[in-house]
Structure 1
Amino acid sequence: MSHLDYEINKELGECYLFMGELDKAEDYYKKAASSNGIHPDPYLGLATIAVQRGELENALTLYVKAHGIDANDKTFAGIGLVKMEQGLKEEAFDLFLEALARNPENMVALLSVIRLGHELERLPQIVPALESYLSINPGKSEVRYSLAGCMVCLDRKEEAQAQLEQIASTDPGFAPARELLALLDA
């Protein structure tokens, strides 16, 4: 099979996955994987399907296969998601941090780090990940609000206040920031 066949099968797999047609998506991803085994994308697609079906062991195998071809933020985040579902939260947290070290904008990893960081009481490790994301996307109020929340929990109230004031000035419609700011001022 040519590279063009690989691309077509991969694209069709992505389209069907997006539409929720898991069986069709699986068929095209398998064709793409067999046409050219040096790309991680078909395995990532197949892993996503496995996760949606609740087949965690299979998903993990597929993420690891993709990881072996090209260890990137998506493979670290994917393996992290499975580990989190399996209750291996500390291991998952470290995998999400690794994903963010490669791509600070990986939202799956970022949201998971926020959630697990609070649960595992590892807030000091979340702060740099949030700051790194905000250095690229400074206008993302939800992320800045999460950062302010972490700072409040870490008793860094002045820094939290500065973050909240920045949200209030750039995104006045973002009510949670105003509410937290009022609490800090009280």
Structure 2
Amino acid sequence: MENQLDYEINKELGECYLFMGDFDKAEEYYRKAAAGNSRSAAPYMGLATVAVQRSELDKALVLYQKAAAVEETDKALCGIGLVHMEQGNHEEAFGYFCRALEKSAANIVALNCLVREAYQTGQVEATLPYLTAALDTCEEKEAVRVTLAGCLIYLGRNDEAREHLEAVLGENPANSSAKELFDTMAA
């Protein structure tokens, strides 16, 4: 019980120091937490975040992979994808964002990055099921619907795109992104 309490305290202190921007202290407490509970991915996620903040991408990748090995969550997979994206490994990044979205369709960071990588790798069509799934699960439905419409326009599927844009503009006539896409289609 005491080890669990020490783990929780160290993890919380790591999170606090990370939030305050004291990466040395954050790393110290996340390391203590990881030593106290090797069955939790949270300290590795914290350590990976510290590494990213320090621009130590190779180290961050190893830590995200360690977190995913302990518990394969959408956040750990998304972290791996983000590092690959930053390193220019677009195919790998795309695959990890897909895996993250299979764990949680509402992971908006993974979804946005997936779309970005889809254009980079010529896989826009492959994003459609993930965007559609996100419409049912995430809070940012309007933005997702506009992104979906943009992908459909890119693929030459203007009628489907129009339906999504009309739905957005029906709910929010002031949505400038939807208006711009709608005008692009009309031109």
Answer whether TM exceeds 0.5 for this pair: yes
CA contact 1:139–1:170 (8 Å) conserved in 2:
no
Distance change in 2, residues 1:21/1:171 (3 Å):
farther
CA contact 2:105–2:138 (8 Å) conserved in 1:
no
Q: State the TM-score, normalized to the length of structure 2.
A: 0.93
Query: Which whole-Å CA distance do the structure 1 matches of 2:25 and 2:58 have between them?
Result: 21
Query: Which whole-Å CA distance do the structure 1 matches of 2:17 and 2:171 have between them?
Result: 39
Q: State the TM-score, normalized to the length of structure 1.
A: 0.94
Q: Which residue in the other structure is 1:129 paired with?
A: 130
| 1:63, distance to aligned residue in structure 2 (A) | 1.2
Query: Which whole-Å CA distance do the structure 1 matches of 2:112 and 2:72 have between them?
Result: 20
Which residues of 2 match residues 10-21 of structure 1 at below 5 A? 10-21=11-22
Distance change in 2, residues 1:82/1:149 (3 Å):
same
| 1:2, distance to aligned residue in structure 2 (A) | 2.0
Runs of 4+ in 1 over 3 A off after TM superposition: none
Code of the aligned partner of 1:20 = G
Query: Which whole-Å CA distance do the structure 2 matches of 1:57 and 1:180 have between them?
Result: 38
SS at match of 1:172: coil
Question: For structure 1, which segment, 129-138 or 91-100, has the greater mean C-alpha deviation from structure 2 after superposition?
Answer: 129-138
Q: Which residue in the other structure is 1:30 paired with?
A: 31
Distance change in 2, residues 1:109/1:139 (3 Å):
closer
SS at match of 1:2: helix
Q: Which residue in the other structure is 1:117 paired with?
A: 118
- Deviations 1:98-150 (Å, cap 9, x if unpaired)? 00000111122111101111111110111111111111137532211110000
Pair 1:73 & 2:85 matched: no
| 1:168, distance to aligned residue in structure 2 (A) | 0.3
SS at match of 1:71: coil
Pair 1:83 & 2:84 matched: yes
Distance change in 2, residues 1:138/1:154 (3 Å):
farther
Q: Which residue in the other structure is 2:141 paired with?
A: 140
Matched-pair identity in %: 48
SS at match of 2:156: coil
CA contact 1:43–1:62 (8 Å) conserved in 2:
yes
Code of the aligned partner of 1:126 = T
Query: Which whole-Å CA distance do the structure 2 matches of 1:179 and 1:74 have between them?
Result: 32
Alpha carbon RMSD of aligned pairs, Å? 1.4
Please, which runs of 5 or more residues in structure 2 have no aligned partner?
none
Q: Which residue in the other structure is 2:56 paired with?
A: 55
Distance change in 2, residues 1:109/1:184 (3 Å):
same
Query: Which whole-Å CA distance do the structure 1 matches of 2:108 and 2:15 have between them?
Result: 19
